[in-house]
């Protein structure tokens, strides 16, 4: 039996330097990252073993590393996070990453802009 589920981390906050404008790259901005990983819980649910599930600390470390690397666009950052999650956890079926930039410089009022990426492991249904 395959016990499918989802591991979610919401509201990871970072001060990062993503953006196309020089001021974004020099002073940075507040960002929020949400992660959802579709997985199987066979090992962790039945054996209470951390090695058989998605480790929150490892996900945070992946996200932190990618957020510390400046990028003009959020899309490659989100894609890289999703890919590294799939590469790091054999039980991960799909990784969904949403990155929000607060108060983006668009010439008007906007609380946040978001980019979402979903990446599924090859051969998964």
- Three-class DSSP category at 18: coil
Active-site pick, 2, 84, 94, 101? 101
C-alpha 112/C-alpha 110 separation (Å) is 5
- Taking 3-state DSSP, the helix, strand and coil percentages for the chain, each rounded to the nearest 5, stand at 35, 35, 30
Residue 94: is it exposed, middle or buried by C-beta count within 10 angstroms (0-12/13-18/19+)? middle
Has 101 been annotated as catalytic? yes
Catalytic positions are 101
């Amino acid at each position: 039996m395959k016990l499918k589920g989802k591991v979610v981390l919401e509201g990871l906050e970072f001060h990062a330097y993503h953006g196309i404008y020089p001021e974004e790259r020099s002073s940075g901005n507040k960002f929020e990252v949400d992660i959802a990983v579709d997985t199987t819980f066979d090992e962790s649910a039945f054996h209470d073993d951390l090695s058989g599930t998605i480790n929150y600390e490892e996900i945070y470390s992946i996200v932190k590393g990618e957020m510390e690397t400046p990028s003009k666009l959020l899309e490659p950052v989100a894609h890289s996070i999703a890919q590294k999650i799939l590469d790091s956890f054999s039980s991960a079926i799909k990784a969904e990453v949403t990155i929000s930039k607060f108060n983006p410089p668009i010439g008007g009022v906007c609380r946040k802009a978001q980019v979402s990426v979903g990446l599924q492991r090859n051969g998964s249904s």
